A and B are shown apart, each in its own frame.
Chain A
Amino acid sequence: MKKLMSGNAALGEAAVLSGCTCYFGYPITPQNELTEYMAKRMGELGRVFIQSESEIAAINMVLGASVAGARAMTSSSSPGMSLKQEGISYLAADELPAVIVDMVRGGPGMGNISPAQSDYLQATRGGGHGDYKTIVLAPGSVQELTDVVPLAFDLADKYRNPVVILGDGMLGQMMEPVSFDDIKPPKEYPKDYILTGAKGRPARMVRSLLFDTKEEEEHNWKLVRKYQRMESSEVRYETYLTDDAEMIVVAYGIGARIVRGAIKRLRQENLKVGMIRPITVWPFPAAAIQEMAKTVHDFFVFEMCAGQMIEDVRLALAGKGHIHFYGRPGGIIPTPIELYRIIARHYYTAARRKK
């Protein structure tokens, strides 16, 4: 059965159904409905909910809950995510699972509360200090936002690593019909690292301080190997009309959805435009783009920011092909018609160049 729900509330329900037993959050627009939803639902279910004194406290409560063995989540939006980075770095270093939701808004600084995609680099490069990565899932509809939640908890447990769900203000605020029929709690992994009190076993310690540089290097290589496993196993993306495409748009999240509308119009005029939509923006579908570059010359990157994912596309193409770019920073959402016009213009320019 479908229900008309906002992305924020739907994500909350999906977290509840995924077996999230602890939620910690601090109010910030445009994700407040998620915190409010969790306050109500976690209370009803006798699970843990705390409105923390700050985003810093929230992420550290997540860390505490995670080290105690719970499935824990926090959520925020851009300025709050900056504050959470310290804790995310510790979660990664301590190898603790957690799910962190970021409903991105315009920035830098206070910015505004409109939807944006300007925190791509923060999310995909670790975001805090040190050599670490987080898996970053970037859904494009309320249903997909819901569907990635059990996946996020599963990946977090599987790799013992924080996982970020990268949404935006629009995805959080908009309502769409959503079904929870397929949301099942992910499997439980053996947790031989959690702190429960050293009953009938040697004491455990969970830490990231490794004074011995050799030990620290070994630990970091171990993390790197884990990230390499993620890169080889966890890349997720969707292609749309790429088979005969002469130009491929790279876009994610809500941006990709608008691109889809633009491509429908472009196709009506026989412009052979397709799209690759990364669902994991880290690990990035670089190999898929490289494969496409064997037959396609023109790649068009669209982002609701001044250009961040374009760096990953550049790295993937490694000098091959030609990259076109259109960005709208500052919380502005372009229309499908606007994108249709821009992409068409670039398409014709590219066609002339080829002649």
Chain B
Amino acid sequence: MTTKTIFSGFGGQGVLSMGFTLANAAMLEGKYVTYLPSYGVEVRGGTANCTVVVSDEEIASPVASEPEFVVAMNQPSFARFQSILQSGGLLCVNASLVNTASARSDIEVLAIPTSELAEKLGTIKVANMIMLGALIKASSIISFDAMIKNLAELLGEGRSKLIKLNREALETGFNYVKE
């Protein structure tokens, strides 16, 4: 199986790190994976997006013209990427910032109030990890348990203090999504 996910939002919302974490987790699970950042001129405050392809076989293209999953962390990303989502695809939106009234009728929308959930954990910075937990629950792209197990490696050296917080954030998102 091959799944393509586009992560999008404002620069600074941790959009690229969301994609990188998923790609890295998929690699550690032994899957084929590609991660393609959009590389534009703006670094902060502009729109950022990246594409992650996870597969059981060799990946032909790291580009997703019709992704199965889209994560939209802000309104402009919602507007831009909902149109290219596959029919029947899943759109994970940051309900704290995005109005989903104009969503297409042939897709599923999963609204996660990431800001509110993040504030309960004490920092808005983990909104992206909450969203990632929710995406993994709803998509089953990778194994959540394996990801939690590899969390230290995923966060990288020198971030061991952050393991607990990130784990809580991922679990918050994961548990927010009902079966």
Chain A: residues with CB nearer than 8 A to chain B?
A: 2, 4, 29-30, 113, 169-170, 173-177, 257-258, 260-262, 264, 333, 335-337
Contact = CB atoms under 8 A, between A and B. Distances in A.
Interface in B11-40: 20, 23-24, 27, 32-37, 39
17 contacts: A4-B20, A4-B35, A30-B39, A170-B63, A173-B36, A175-B34, A175-B35, A175-B37, A177-B32, A257-B60, A258-B60, A258-B61, A260-B58, A261-B59, A264-B60, A335-B63, A337-B65
Interface in B58-73: 58-63, 65-66
A266 to B, nearest CB: 12
Contacts of A336: 60-61
B33 A177 contact: yes
Contacts of A29: 39
A337 B4 CA distance: 14
Contact of A257 (B23, B39, B61, B65): B61
B33 A4 contact: yes
Contacts of A262: 60
A175 B60 contact: no
Contacts of B39: 29-30, 113, 169, 173
A329 B26 CA distance: 33
B37 A173 contact: yes
Contacts of B35: 4, 174-176
Contacts of B66: 335
A16 B179 CA distance: 49
Contact of A174 (B27, B32, B36): B36
Contacts of B24: 4
Contact of B61 (A2, A113, A335): A335
A95 B59 CA distance: 40
Nearest to A260: B60
A260 B36 CA distance: 19
Contacts of A258: 60-61
A1 to B, nearest CB: 11
A333 B61 contact: yes
Given A173-B39, A175-B34, A4 B23 contact: yes
Interface string B83-108: 00000000000000000000000000
Contacts of B23: 4, 175
B157 to A, nearest CB: 13
A170 B62 CA distance: 9
A194 B23 CA distance: 46
A180 B90 CA distance: 37
Q: Which 10 A-B pairs have the closest CB atoms?
A: A261-B60, A175-B35, A174-B36, A336-B60, A177-B27, A335-B65, A174-B62, A258-B61, A4-B24, A333-B63
Given A170-B62, A257-B61, 16 more contacts: A2-B27, A29-B39, A174-B34, A175-B23, A175-B36, A175-B37, A176-B33, A176-B34, A258-B60, A258-B61, A261-B59, A262-B60, A333-B63, A335-B61, A335-B63, A336-B60
A333 B60 CA distance: 12
Nearest to A262: B60
Nearest to A178: B27
Which of A173, A175, A258 has the largest number of chain B CB atoms within 10 A?
A175
A312 B99 CA distance: 54
Nearest to A335: B65
Nearest to A169: B39
A173 B27 CA distance: 18
A51 B157 CA distance: 28
Which of A174, A257, A258, A336 has the largest number of chain B CB atoms within 10 A?
A174
Nearest to A33: B39
B36 A170 contact: yes
Contacts of A335: 61, 63, 65-66
A173 B62 CA distance: 11
A80 B58 CA distance: 33
A257 B62 CA distance: 10
